[in-house]
Amino acid sequence: MTAIRLAALLLILAGLALSGCTSYQREVVISSSPPGAIIYVNGEERGQTESKVILDYSRNPGARIFVQLRKNHHLPGFGAWTIQEVLERKRFDLEPVP
């Protein structure tokens, strides 16, 4: 193995070691009753229920991520979670507009 290849390998291994096992992303399956609500994460549309959504806390691991569900003729659903509060599944029961 040449010195350059060995140095490159050592740099890759050092990068992997420094990155550690900490992940600042959480995956959550979001569903609703009735189904088909639009999912927004921090104001950005992410799909419709039922969907698997990635919540990315890498910018600020202590922050809450805001999730909103909207469906025509129903009141919106809201949730906000820190990285420690996120569940694997979250169901929103959306109430019809009175």
Q: Which fold has domain 23-93?
A: Immunoglobulin-like (2.60.40)
Residue range 76-95: mean pLDDT, rounded: 94
Query: Of the ranges 1-5, 22-26, 82-86, which is most confident?
Result: 82-86
**How many Cβ atoms from other residues are within 10 Å of residue 42's Cβ?**
14
Output the CA angle 81-77-82, nearest 5 degrees.
Answer: 0
Structure tokens at 38: 């639009």
Q: What is the pTM of this model?
A: 0.75
Residue labelled with tokens 């569903």: 31
5-47 pLDDT, tens digit per residue, is: 766 666 665 555 545 456 899 999 999 999 999 999 999 999 9
Break the chain into its structural domains and give their ranges. Answer: 23-93
Q: What is the pLDDT of residue 5?
A: 73
> One-letter amino acid identity for 48?
Q
